Amino acid sequence: MKQPLEGIKVIDFSRVLAGPYCTMLLADMGAEVIKIERPEFGDDTRHFGPFQNGESGYFMFLNRGKKSIEMNLKDPSDYENLMELIKEADVIVENFRPGVMEGLGLNYETLKEVNKGIIYCSISGFGQYGPLKKRPAYDLVAQAMGGIASITGHPNNPPTRSGASLGDMSAALYAAYGVMVALFHRERTGVGQTIDVAMVDSIFSLLEHNVMRYTSEGTIPERIGSRHPISAPFDVYESKEGYVVIATANDSLFARLCKVMDKEELLKDVRFATDIERGKNESELKVIIEEWLQGYTAEEAVELINNAGVPSSTILNIAEISESDHVKEREMLLEMEHPVAGKTRIPGNPVKLSKTPVQITSPSPALGEHNDMMQQKFKAK
Amino acid sequence: MKQPLEGIKVIDFSRVLAGPYCTMLLADMGAEVIKIERPEFGDDTRHFGPFQNGESGYFMFLNRGKKSIEMNLKDPSDYENLMELIKEADVIVENFRPGVMEGLGLNYETLKEVNKGIIYCSISGFGQYGPLKKRPAYDLVAQAMGGIASITGHPNNPPTRSGASLGDMSAALYAAYGVMVALFHRERTGVGQTIDVAMVDSIFSLLEHNVMRYTSEGTIPERIGSRHPISAPFDVYESKEGYVVIATANDSLFARLCKVMDKEELLKDVRFATDIERGKNESELKVIIEEWLQGYTAEEAVELINNAGVPSSTILNIAEISESDHVKEREMLLEMEHPVAGKTRIPGNPVKLSKTPVQITSPSPALGEHNDMMQQKFKAK
């Protein structure tokens, strides 16, 4: 079956996470992604753990279905070969610090002389323009400066980084959407262009209504743990063994929960009579719920609560969600055979297209695996 | 200037956050997005705070540049008019619970009889197929079940929801990328299809290398606060006034930091001699750094540390990032004139396209603002 991006060639200068995840999203849909890697060393993540038979799981996941060519970008003959590749390319993706590509003679103005319709996507910490453009990018810094750390965590604790690299991942997602918009536009008009995505801007964009709370009514959102800003009980609660999420945003769900807990007297308690009152007295309500939960494990409590029609779930760790029937049926972990690592499992793609489903045609490449293929191509010219 | 998605018509059945953010990303690029809203009540978020002159900031942000038509989907004449719209549409977006659209006679199989090439995108909590598809979706549940809550927060605290609705926002981003891939494919082949995106799958996809730690080497990642899993000092630290991020992942940066702190004796301390050792003894190192930070405000400390070439930043709250020069220069907050709210500021789009920049052509629509326009259209037929 033909994949949607078949025939689209991406020259990928990116390293580590944000750029490689963006080009992974393109490769998953059938684009030919050619990684340009530093000779002998390659993408930094080839040396990052976790390892399986000495092969980096970090690298294998992000680079499935891509090709690898080693090139010394400062070597004139490699540069010449690279220009041959770029002539035939559709998209460039890079995530160096602003200025580095220009220093290598690989900025947009140079490349569009070789390929007028090229789409040139840059991902960086703070963008290609703006007062902070020269600053180095770390996910921790993007989460700190983009505003999300200030609203993540519990009230008496410090601002908290998300356990996942949201700065990189969100920038990659915005960039993939941007590349697709630019490709669609080029398909209709023939016109190429640059795309500039910053990690800090991407984090800021994830904040959703929190920004509007500030701009519409002057409130500065704060850390409130896992609770709902208004409704209660709508939070993470501790059971005898493990944590439980309970999500009741209206009176009828609360009545059902009281019945499950055999505490229907709460319905007559003025502190808990309405959602607004429950929200105001949520810490007292939490004590009562957690007392009840001491009689159950998380799994037992969730079953009781769900059976009463109240939304509730356990909190899955990475092993539990990975081994769940849900992930299995939704193919969110894919088995891949890697020549060094052997059988490995890598995250699937969450976008389920009915006519052109994601096909991962090859594992991540060995460093320079496609050097020969390219050499033959250059000789043939 | 022609926008990239000019001429693309989106019929938008979605409500609240994930669906509307997805169609906002399409409207920003020039698609005509027509919201189908419940008569008199409309999208739930019209009634959500924050409010500005009685107008919902939540709604204004997500629905800029869209049109609004009131329709009772159970009324035969409205249904007939809707089919006229769908005949001319390119994309359908909906985020009802699986089964609801079918109950309304609006499933893909029905609509493709009217419009063969339609692209039909569904966003839900657990997907259109799979063992959990009928469960109601809440962002809190998606974050709990998708694995990210288990790795967010401090070691002695409960699993923590991110302060932003990552389940909705990531699903919206994956869906926008999916719609663009499907539009590109249709442009080349004429073939439409369905797109199925689940919030839990989207959260799972954000976990990046955390999943590989489990599948490659059997480790179950845990909550480690804001610190780096290996390197130190690389964390959030408390100063005399405010918190500071310091990110030093190698020996030479650490030497510079020690110089700034006037504590060069640490370089000879076996506990801190290498990055690996510092990582193992990070809590002792944190005490030393926070002692030093007690002499400075966060701003003062960051200036000293940055001047020494060590990456560091303050942690910006929503007001600080919103009012920053960075956000101003990058146009990450846009001024919009709304007929009811007046002058308001809404988040911009982080994807900066050079030839076809995002243009927001109108504020969010009043409920049913475009009823008449559509009525005239139907009469003309």
* Structural domains for chain B: 9-207+331-380 (3.40.50.10540), 234-320 (3.30.1540.10)
Contacts of A274 (CB under 8 A, 6+ apart): A251
Q: What are phi and psi of B10, to 5 degrees?
A: -115, 125
CB A148 within 8 A of CB A222: no
A117 lies within 8 A of chain B by CB = no
When computed from its CA atoms, the radius of gyration of chain B, rounded to whole angstroms, is: 25
Q: B376 vs chain A: nearest CA distance in angstroms?
A: 31
Asked whether A355 and B191 are in contact (CB, 8 A), the reply is: yes
Chain B residues within 8 A of A204 when measuring between CB atoms: 321, 327, 332, 347, 350
Min distance A376 CA to chain B CA atoms (Å): 31
Asked if residue A281 has pLDDT above 90, the reply is yes
Torsion of CA A53, A58, A63, A68, to 10 degrees: -60
pLDDT digits (tens, 9 = 90+) for A157-186: 999 999 999 999 999 999 999 999 999 999
* Whole-number pLDDT of residue B381: 63
Check CB contact of B57 with chain A, cutoff 8 Å: yes
CB contact residues (below 8 A), chain B span 332-371, against chain A: 332-333, 341, 344-347, 349-356
- Per-residue pLDDT of B218-258, as tens digits, reads 999 999 999 998 899 999 999 999 999 999 989 999 999 99
Q: Is B197 on the interface with A (CB under 8 A)?
A: yes
Q: What is the pLDDT of residue B1?
A: 60
**CA atoms of B126 and B99, how far apart (whole Å):** 13
How far are the Cα atoms of A264, B167, B218, B260, B287 from residue A154, in angstroms, in the given order? 30, 19, 29, 31, 21
Does the pLDDT at position A109 exceed 80?
yes
Q: For A6, what's the count of Cα atoms within 13 Å in the CB-facing half-sphere?
A: 14
Given a contact cutoff of 8 angstroms between Cβ atoms, the answer to whether A29 and A5 are in contact is: yes
Contact B213 A182 (CB under 8 A): no
What is the distance in angstroms between the Cα of A379 and the nearest Cα belonging to chain B?
Answer: 32
Residues in contact with A344: Cβ distance below 8 Å, sequence separation at least 6, in sequence order: A52, A57, A60, A335, A336, A337, A338, A363, B215, B216
Interface contact B329, partner A, CB < 8 A = yes
B159/A154 Cβ within 8 A:
no
Distance (Å) from the C-alpha of residue B234 to the closest C-alpha of chain A?
Answer: 8
Chain B residue closest in CA terms to A226: B161
Q: Does A219 touch chain B (CB under 8 A)?
A: yes
CA distance A334 to A362: 12
Measure the CA–CA gap between A263 and A255, rounded to whole angstroms: 9
> Is the CB of B138 inside 8 Å of chain A's CB atoms?
yes
Nearest CA in chain A to B170: A170
Minimum distance, in Å, between the CA of residue B80 and any CA atom of chain A = 27
Interface pTM, i.e. ipTM: 0.98
* CA atoms within a 13 Å half-sphere pointing along the CA-CB vector of B233: 27
Q: Compare all CA atoms of chain B with the CA of A136 and give the residue at the minimum distance.
A: B311
HEC states along B186-236?
HHHHCCCEEEEEEHHHHHHHHCCHHHHHHHHHCCCCCCCCCCCCCCCCEEE
pLDDT at residue A380 above 80?
Answer: no
How confident is the model at residue A1, as a pLDDT?
A: 60
Closest CA to B73 of B45, B110, B48: B110
Strands (E), chain A: 9-12, 32-37, 51-52, 55-56, 67-70, 91-94, 119-124, 193-198, 234-238, 243-247, 312-314, 333-338, 342-347, 352-353
- Model pLDDT, residue B332: 98
Cα separation, B369 vs A295, in Å, equals: 54
Distance in Å, alpha carbon of B206 to nearest chain A alpha carbon: 6
A159·B243 Cβ contact <8 A: yes
Nearest to A50 among B135, B191, B217 (CB): B217
CA distances from A106 to A148, A219, A368, A371 (A): 34, 45, 21, 20
> Residue-wise over A177-194: b if at least 16 C-beta within 10 A, else e?
bbbbbbbbbbeeeeebbb
Catalytic center residues of A:
228
**Contact with chain B for residue A190, Cβ under 8 A:** no
Closest alpha carbon within chain B to A170? B170
Residues from chain A that touch B225, judged by Cβ atoms under 8 A, are 158, 160-161
Q: Give pLDDT < 70 ranges for chain B.
A: 1, 381
For residue A108, give every residue at least 6 positions away whose Cβ sits within 8 Å of its Cβ, in sequence order, or none: A118, A120, A194
B348: three-class secondary structure by DSSP: coil
Whether the CB of A292 is below 8 Å from some CB of chain B: the reply is no
Asked if B146 has any chain A CB less than 8 Å from its own CB, the reply is yes
- Residue B151 with chain A: CB contacts under 8 Å: 163-164, 317-318
Can you list the alpha helix ranges (DSSP code H) found in A163-232?
A: 166-189, 199-206, 209-217
Q: Which residue of B has its CA nearest to A237?
A: B158
Alpha-carbon radius of gyration of chain A: 25
- Residue B226 confidence (pLDDT): 97
A chain contacts of residue B310, beta-carbon cutoff 8 Å = none
Of all residues in chain A, what percent carry a pLDDT higher than 70? 99
Beta-carbon separation of A131 and B325 below 8 A: yes
Q: Which residues of A touch B194 (CB under 8 A)?
A: 353-354
For residue B228, the chain A residues in CB contact (below 8 A) are 140
Identify the DSSP state of B96.
S
The continuous run of DSSP H or E covering B276 comes out as helix B275-280
DSSP structure class, residue B28:
T
Spatial separation of the C-alpha atoms in residues B234 and B295, rounded to whole Å: 20
Beta carbons of B159 and A226 less than 8 Å apart = yes
| Closest among B32, B27, B61 to B359, alpha carbons compared | B27
pLDDT digits (tens, 9 = 90+) for A29-67: 999 999 999 999 999 999 999 999 999 999 999 999 999
How close B294 gets to chain A, by Cα (Å)? Answer: 15
Per-residue pLDDT of B93-107, as tens digits, reads: 999 999 999 999 999
Q: What is the pLDDT of residues A126-167, one digit of tens each?
A: 999 999 999 887 999 999 999 999 999 999 899 999 999 999
Q: How many alpha carbons lie under 13 Å from residue B5 in its C-beta half-sphere?
A: 33
Residue B214: closest CA among chain A residues belongs to which residue? A319
The verdict on a CB contact (< 8 Å) between A193 and B356 is yes
Nearest Cβ partner of B219 from A50, A189, A345? A50
Residues of B recognised as catalytic: 228
